[in-house]
């Protein structure tokens, strides 16, 4: 699954982990995040995220 990096603060959304701070279960792909989801670190909108080319 693709990971996404916040261009504002560097937070990386990893679908394997989901986002427990916003009740996003593990295994949720980035393209399936709710429209209202924001960066848990800086509250940036999803439009401020890019696909991460970092390998885990």
Asked whether the predicted pLDDT for residue 56 surpasses 70, the reply is no
pTM of the model: 0.90
All domains of the chain in start order, with CATH: 4-51 (2.20.28.10)
Residue closest to 17 by CA, chosen among 39, 1, 37, 38: 1
pLDDT of 1 over the 90 cut: no
What does the DSSP assignment read for 1-56? ---EEETTT--EE-TTT-BGGGTB-TT--GGGS-TT-B-TTT--BGGGEEE-----
Give the C-alpha separation, 6 to 10, whole Å: 5
Of the pLDDT bands very low, low, confident and very high (cuts 50, 70, 90), residue 53 is confident
pLDDT in tens, 5-42: 999 999 999 999 999 999 999 999 999 999 999 999 99
């Amino acid at each position: 699954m693709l990971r996404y990096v916040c261009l504002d603060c560097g937070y990386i959304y990893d679908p394997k982990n989901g986002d427990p701070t916003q009740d996003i279960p593990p295994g949720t792909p980035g393209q399936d995040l709710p429209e209202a989801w924001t960066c848990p670190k800086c509250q940036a909108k999803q439009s401020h995220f890019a696909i991460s080319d970092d390998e885990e």
